[in-house]
Amino acid sequence: MHVLLTGATGRLGRELAPRLEAAGVRVTGLGSRDVNVTDFDAVQRAVDTARPDVLFHAAAFTDVAGAETQREACWCVNVDGTRHVALAAREVGARLIHVSSDYVFWGGDDRPKGGYRETDTPGPVRNTYALTKLVAEEAARVAPDALIVRTSFRETAWPHPTAFTDLYTSQDYVDVIADLLASVVLHHAQIEGGPLHVATERKSVFDLVTRRNPDVTPGSRRDAAVDLPEDVSLDVTRFTQLHATWTTGKEATA
């Protein structure tokens, strides 16, 4: 299998590529210096040259607070960039695996919260980044049978003195999530297109962060510079069943 990986220089891409290579996958990694996804001709050239079996799209504008003041840049990278990647994947017949986010759900306060399933209608959204990730999901559907992986992750070294006790997610450390996503890539042919939630159990950000960063102190999402959800935890039943099937070697049909 040959995987063309956008966002290869990012947090997720750096963890995912070596896992795929260790499993015998040929990986061609792209950062923004290799190909700017906002440039359709450049994307098309790169994809046409690589002719991958899978186009794993992890490139994105991910600065959630910065997106509020750089709305156009965030939209161009996340929405237009995804459309370009999806069109290019369609042209060469590559399977698109698009990385989306738990932020496509509202997550609490005055609306139902948490435990979101793939069949739940996403939105409304809290902030500009979330809006672009939601619209990007629809852009990804330009590619036939596109697999839209909603996930969430953190780096092992938490860069802040505090972490939110009042923001619940199913996210995990990026190395944990990269293991799960590598299994998705390896078994993608057994997974129907559309959304798939790939994460772990529900927990607060504080609970996750202090597993590896015990000195971090409690904080509140109310103190963040941008509106953040209360509970965007994902129901991962479908992925858990698939993963169990892969690890026991039985045929999957989800």
- Taking the least distance from each CB to ligand NAP, the nearer of 203 and 252 is 203
Residues in a beta bridge with 168: 204, 231
Counting every residue written for the chain, the total comes to 254
End-to-end CA distance of the chain: 22
Q: Could you identify the residue written with the tokens 């005055």?
A: 110
Q: Is 9 in the site for ligand NAP (CB under 6 A)?
A: yes
Is 129 one of the annotated active-site residues of the chain? yes
Q: Where are the alpha helices (DSSP H) in the chain?
A: 11-22, 40-50, 71-75, 81-92, 128-140, 174-186, 205-212, 237-248
Q: Is 58 exposed, middle or buried (0-12, 13-18, 19+ CB in 10 A)?
A: buried
- Distance (Å, rounded) from C-alpha 45 to C-alpha 51? 10
Q: Enter the DSSP assignment of 93.
A: T
The pattern of x and - marking residues 22 through 61 that bind ligand NAP according to CB under 6 A reads ---------xxx-xxxx-------------------xxxx
**By CB under 6 A, residue 11 contacts ligand NAP:** yes
Distance CA 10, CA 81 (A): 16
Q: Does 12 bind ligand NAP (CB under 6 A)?
A: yes
Q: What is the smallest separation between the CB atom of 21 and ligand NAP, expressed in angstroms?
A: 17
By CB under 6 A, the residues from 96 to 115 that bind ligand NAP are 99, 101
Instruction: Report how far residue 92's alpha carbon sits from residue 131's, in angstroms, rounded to the nearest whole number.
Output: 29
The only residue of 77, 180, 182, 184 in contact with ligand NAP, by rule CB under 6 A: 77
Among residues 116, 153, 158, 239, the one that binds ligand NAP under rule CB under 6 A = 153
Stretch that binds ligand NAP, among 4-12, 182-190, 202-210, 239-247 (CB under 6 A): 4-12
Convert residues 217-246 into a mask of x (bound to ligand NAP by CB under 6 A) and - (unbound): ------------------------------
Task: Write down the catalytic residue from 103, 129, 168, 173.
Answer: 129
DSSP state of 121: P
Q: Does 170 bind ligand NAP (CB under 6 A)?
A: no
What are residue 151's DSSP bridge partners? 101
Quickly tell me which residue has 């996503």 as its tokens: 181
- Taking CB under 6 A as the rule, which mask of x and - marks residues 79-98 in contact with ligand NAP? --x-----------------
Question: Catalytic residue positions?
Answer: 129
Contacts with ligand NAP, residue ranges (CB under 6 A):
6-13, 31-33, 35-38, 58-62, 77, 81, 99, 101, 133, 151-153
